């Protein structure tokens, strides 16, 4: 890894300490609860972030919970089954009575929304169908708070594995980003699942000559896709592997002077329109750097 990149990455002073607003939220385009959850999931265990930003962000999420126990992606919308588990995953390391109560209510909300076949739709609409990233988020949240053997998640895990076996890939309902689908859905299957291993392995073939990863095969590299691919692959490979070092170099070289990364439209909402949220790009790129930082911290 080139020495300037190592200095920028090793210090992590610009990438791992984003500042929240005085309210504790991170947001763009009013997607306040979704963006705050993503940012906490990306940077929550970095000591600088944990000290300077996480407490207000945690409080903001807890106070934002709807009376039904769920969260919508912003304050003027009803609860949905994708923002709710992502908020729960963001809160999982918070140890206080308020967070514990929020988690209990959130889990009860999700269990109450489960379909007869064991899956979940994003919204409570007859026209809405289960999508892989949403189902995986619910499964990951239930496994975190109820244990990986919880009977409610078994049908959903089978469905996620079958979707990959039938299609040869996972797709996401929210993002046009293959590494996002692989990282998020594989977390629903859990560590050690053979389908999860195959899906993560498949990402290596996506890497471009510049070291970065694209949203889809044959496309240009983007910081968001690269960060997500690093986060998935760092679970399986040492970050000193040449292909991961090249990906990290790409990600750090693409970083702008203010610490953020340029992005491209990749978020569906409402489907099928595609647009860009800068906070999402920053969180996704950060997930890659934080995954590498954790591996190095464990090794050192």
Q: How many CB atoms lie within 10 A of CB 129?
A: 10
**CB environment 240-262: b (16+ within 10 A), e (fewer):** eeeebbbbbbbbbebbeeebbbe
Q: How far apart are CA 126 and CA 105, in angstroms?
A: 24
User: Which has the closest alpha carbon to 98: 55, 137, 138?
Assistant: 55
How far is the CA of 125 from the CAs of 78, 81, 115, in angstroms? 12, 11, 12
Q: Which of 66, 139, 136 is nearest to 105 (CA)?
A: 66
Based on its alpha-carbon atoms, the radius of gyration of the chain, rounded to whole angstroms, reads 18
Closest residue by Cα to residue 281 from 24, 85, 35, 89: 35
pLDDT at 16: 33
Residue 49 confidence (pLDDT): 95
The end-to-end CA distance of the chain, in Å, is: 17
The sign one gets for the Cα dihedral 120, 126, 131, 134 is negative
Rounded to two decimals, the pTM is 0.88
* pLDDT tens for the chain, residues 1 to 300: 332 233 233 333 233 333 444 555 555 445 589 999 999 999 999 999 999 999 999 999 999 999 999 999 888 889 999 999 999 999 998 989 999 999 999 999 999 999 999 999 998 887 899 999 999 999 999 999 999 888 899 999 999 999 999 999 999 998 999 999 999 999 999 888 999 999 999 999 999 999 999 999 999 999 999 999 999 999 899 999 999 999 999 999 999 999 999 999 998 876 677 888 899 999 999 999 999 999 998 876
Give residue 274's pLDDT: 87
The string of pLDDT tens digits covering residues 148-193 is 888 899 999 999 999 999 999 999 998 999 999 999 999 999 888 9
In DSSP terms, 101 is beta-bridged to: none
Looking at residue 22, what is its pLDDT?
52
Confidence at residue 77, expressed as pLDDT on a 0 to 100 scale: 87
Label each residue of 180-196 as H, E or C: HHHHHHHHHHCCCCHHH
What pLDDT is recorded for position 26?
54
Listed residue (211, 294, 213, 214) closest to 245, CA to CA? 211
- pLDDT of 17: 35
Number of other residues whose CB lies within 10 A of the CB of residue 234 = 25
| CA 111 – CA 236 distance, rounded (Å) | 32
Q: What is the pLDDT of residue 273?
A: 79
For residue 19, the model assigns a pLDDT of: 41
Mapped onto helix, strand or coil, the DSSP state of residue 163 is helix
Specify the pLDDT at position 230. 98
| 8 A C-beta contact, residue 211 and residue 250 | yes
């Amino acid at each position: 890894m080139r020495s300037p990149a190592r200095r920028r990455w090793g210090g992590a002073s610009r990438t791992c300490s984003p500042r929240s607003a005085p309210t504790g939220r991170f947001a763009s385009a009013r997607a306040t609860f979704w963006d705050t959850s993503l940012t906490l999931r990306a940077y929550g265990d970095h000591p600088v972030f944990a000290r300077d930003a996480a407490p207000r962000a945690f409080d903001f999420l807890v106070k934002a919970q709807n009376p039904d126990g769920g969260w919508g992606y912003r304050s003027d919308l009803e609860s949905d089954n994708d923002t709710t588990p992502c908020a729960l995953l963001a809160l999982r390391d918070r140890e206080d009575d308020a967070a514990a109560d929020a988690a209990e209510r959130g889990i009860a909300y999700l269990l109450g929304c489960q379909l007869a076949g064991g899956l979940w739709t994003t919204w409570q609409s007859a026209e809405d169908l289960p999508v892989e990233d949403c189902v995986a988020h619910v499964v990951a949240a239930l496994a975190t708070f109820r244990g990986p053997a919880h009977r409610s998640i078994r049908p959903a895990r089978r469905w996620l594995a079958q979707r990959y076996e039938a299609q040869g890939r996972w797709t996401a309902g929210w993002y046009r980003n293959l590494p996002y689908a692989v990282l998020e859905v594989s977390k629903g299957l859990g560590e050690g699942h053979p389908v999860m291993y195959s899906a993560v392995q498949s990402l290596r073939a996506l890497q471009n000559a510049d070291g970065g990863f694209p949203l889809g095969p044959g496309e240009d590299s983007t910081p968001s896709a690269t960060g997500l691919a690093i986060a998935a692959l760092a679970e399986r490979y040492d970050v000193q592997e040449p292909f991961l070092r090249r990906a990290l170099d790409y990600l750090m070289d693409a970083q702008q002077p203010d610490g953020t990364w340029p992005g491209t439209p990749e978020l569906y909402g409402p489907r099928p329109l595609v647009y860009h949220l800068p906070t999402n790009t920053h969180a996704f790129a950060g997930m890659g750097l934080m995954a590498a930082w954790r591996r190095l911290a464990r090794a050192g």
